[in-house]
Structure 1
Amino acid sequence: MMRMRRVFTAAAALALPIALAGAPSVAASTGTSANAVPGVQVVHQPKNPAHLVSLGPDDVCDYTKSRPTLHRGSSGPAVQQAQCYLNQAIGAGLDEDGDFGQLTKSATKDFQQCAGIVVDGLVAAQTWSFLSFWANAPDAPFC
């Protein structure tokens, strides 16, 4: 009889810590709902946020969202966007006239050299990416 009691006591001593280890941790209850469960934290999320969160910084240049490959002879709002970015990123001092001439090509090469990217005088995907980032950086102009 004594031996059986020791077995039950030992089994109970092992079962209790195992059961407690699997139990959820107790947190302070913050809700006062009628359905509140003691030890369970209630989190309330608003249905409508107070304000919308921007997905990125406001663009310092606002001529177009288009990013075509630009070269000498290109013209239009995308060239104005590139010229604005060059002015912001490296202080190029370009007229934002929308004409990709020799001055814009030279400024593009200067920027590419400074950024450590391929220097070809074209404003293609890599140059657009670097220009956009650098022009919108708070410490611009660089170089």
Structure 2
Amino acid sequence: MRRAFIAAATLILPLALSGGPAAATSQDTPPSVTAQATSAQAAQAAGHPGTLVAQGPDDICGYTNRRPNLQRGSEGRAVRQAQCYLNQAIGTNLAQDGDFGRATRNATRFFQECADITVDGRIGAQTWSFLSFWANQEDAPFDC
């Protein structure tokens, strides 16, 4: 019994003295969280969506929920998904044919420039995240 009391006191006393676990200050906010908030505010001020989310249940394009890395020469349902997202996000008029050709690469580069992310003409994790979010916004397509 005495050991249990000492163990509980050892855990509770520091929390009580520091003001409890909810006593975090702005100094306790990790720099990455602050940077994300600043980036989101800047994007919203520029008229672009500012928060990243995963694909939701009401996805605008329903070809697949897979998100493989895509580049020129890629084919299939994931390419159709990306082409649909590009059409929805920035108003491109790509054929949703599942062929990642020159037009899809150019539209991808344009989108990446517009979103202010790495411009390489390939669709990886970062581009998928932005595409999914932008395409599923009520006020899409966005002007770049």
Q: 1:129 aligns to what?
A: 129
Paired with 2:70 and 2:104, the residues of 1 have a C-alpha distance of 10
Q: Note the residue ranges of structure 2 that are not aligned, 5 or more in a row.
A: 1-54
Amino acid of the residue matched to residue 77 of structure 1?
R
Q: Which has the higher helix share?
A: 2
Paired with 1:92 and 1:124, the residues of 2 have a C-alpha distance of 19
Q: CA 1:73–1:92 in 2, change beyond 3 Å: closer, same or farther? A: same
Q: Is the 8 A contact 1:57 1:136 kept in 2?
A: no
Q: 1:104 aligns to what?
A: 104
Paired with 2:56 and 2:65, the residues of 1 have a C-alpha distance of 14
Paired with 1:60 and 1:132, the residues of 2 have a C-alpha distance of 9
SS of 2:131's partner is: helix
Q: 2:37 aligns to what?
A: none
Displacement of 1:56 in angstroms is 3.9
Tell me the TM-score normalised to structure 1 length: 0.61
Displacement of 1:57 in angstroms is 5.1
Amino acid of the residue matched to residue 86 of structure 2?
L
For residues 27-70 of structure 1, the C-alpha deviation after alignment (integer angstroms, 9 at most, x for no partner) is: xxxxxxxxxxxxxxxxxxxxxxxxxxxx9450000000110000
Q: Is the 8 A contact 1:113 1:119 kept in 2?
A: yes
Larger Rg, first or second structure (1 or 2): 1
Paired with 2:107 and 2:72, the residues of 1 have a C-alpha distance of 12
For residues 84-124 of structure 1, the C-alpha deviation after alignment (integer angstroms, 9 at most, x for no partner) is: 00000001100000000000000000000000000000000
Amino acid of the residue matched to residue 102 of structure 1?
R
Q: 2:73 aligns to what?
A: 73
Amino acid of the residue matched to residue 92 of structure 2?
A
Identity of aligned residues (%): 67
Paired with 1:127 and 1:137, the residues of 2 have a C-alpha distance of 16
Amino acid of the residue matched to residue 82 of structure 2?
A
Q: Is the 8 A contact 1:75 1:98 kept in 2?
A: yes
The CA RMSD over aligned residues, in Å, is 1.3
Q: Note the residue ranges of structure 1 that are not aligned, 5 or more in a row.
A: 1-54
Paired with 1:101 and 1:56, the residues of 2 have a C-alpha distance of 27
